[in-house]
Amino acid sequence: MPVHDWTLVEAGIFHAFHLSWLGHLQDTLNGGLLPQDFYALAEQHAGHYIGDLLTLHVSLPEAEPPSPPHTESGIALAEAPPRVRLKLTAEEVARTRRRSLAIRHVSGHRLVALLEIASPANKDRDASVAQFADKAVSALEYGVHLLLVDLFPPGSHDPRGLIGAVWDLVNERNETFSVPADEPLTLTACRAGPPVEAFVEHLRVGANVPDMPLFLQNDRYVQAPLGITYEAAFRGMPGFWRNVLEGQSRDQA
């Protein structure tokens, strides 16, 4: 399904869609897409800056320390590199940027990846962008992989998009990253490494939502079913707002 222009509606309308999309992603990932020892869980974090997260965990023996999980399931990175527009590589995450992040160990279950769907609240002021970027970099520091879906164009507080703000903290070589003006929406799969790598895809409004790699470990990933779950969530939206997003005026809707 073509991606819509979410700047046409209030933030609360996107938030409702956001929650539905996470639910469909959770159900699809848990329906057999993830390897047996992994599961997806939608989590809600209170506060202005922290959005809803789709988290992946793996079971560990109780006495075993929380080391990176190993699986032979999923797609091998060496055999099938993700087909995306751009690949970025950083030598090392800047350790001085660490901030608090809830990396949970509950009943031996360890967080291994985050799927973050950015909301307008993540981009509404400089502090929002900075906190979002700090959270993302903290996750990567702890070896947690990240898939960032940003369906809003860059603004005055994130002129190179949220991934640009994240990459400023990750990359010590100051590698320039920019968002094409004609394709301002960005999907980014980050492999925690080392080295940290970002697999980037850009979209314009009206382009089909592609699936993206969701890393479970440094050399294995699954394709996150963004396209079919986006469509399912959109079809569950009220008809009035579907009409607005599909080009009909509010008076016509």
Domain ranges for the chain: 6-60+90-245
pLDDT value at 183 more than 90: yes
pTM above 0.95, yes or no: no
pLDDT tens, 79-89?
Answer: 676 766 666 66
How far apart CA 11 and CA 120 sit, in angstroms, is 6
Which pLDDT does position 184 carry in this prediction? 96
pLDDT of residue 10: 94
**What confidence score (pLDDT) does residue 113 get?**
87
Give, in degrees to the nearest 5, the angle at Cα 86 between 84 and 89: 120
Q: What is the pLDDT of residues 198-249, one digit of tens each?
A: 999 999 999 999 999 999 888 889 999 999 999 999 999 999 999 999 986 4
Structure confidence at residue 102 as a pLDDT band (50, 70, 90)? very low
The strand pair at 109-117 and 145-150 is best described as parallel
| Other Cβ atoms closer than 10 A to 71 | 16
**Residue 3 buriedness (CB in 10 A; 0-12 / 13-18 / 19+):** buried
- Give tens-digit pLDDT for 111-165: 888 889 999 989 999 999 998 998 888 888 888 899 999 999 999 999 999 999 9
